[in-house]
Amino acid sequence: MENKKKRIIACPVCGKTVVYENNPYRPFCSRGCKGVDFIRWSDESYKIAKDGHENDNGVQNNGE
Q: What is the CATH number of the domain that holds 12?
A: 3.30.50.10
Q: Rounded to the nearest 5°, which phi and psi values hold at 39?
A: -65, -40
* 17 occurs within a structural domain: yes
Q: What confidence tier does 51 reach under pLDDT thresholds 50, 70, 90?
A: confident
Q: Is residue 59 part of a domain?
A: no
Q: Indicate whether 33 belongs to any domain.
A: yes
State the greatest distance between any 2 C-alpha atoms of the chain, in Å, as a whole number.
Answer: 69
Q: How many domains does the chain have?
A: 1
Antiparallel, parallel or unpaired: β 8-10 and 17-19: antiparallel
Q: Given a cut of 90, is residue 48 above it in pLDDT?
A: no
H-assigned helices in the chain = 31-42
Tens of pLDDT, residue by residue over 16-43, are: 999 999 999 999 999 999 999 999 999 9
**How far apart are the C-alpha atoms of 13 and 29, rounded to whole Å?**
9
Residue 50 is assigned to a structural domain of this protein: no
How confident is the model at residue 53, as a pLDDT?
62
Q: Measured on CA atoms in the order 24, 30, 32, 35, is the torsion positive or negative?
A: negative
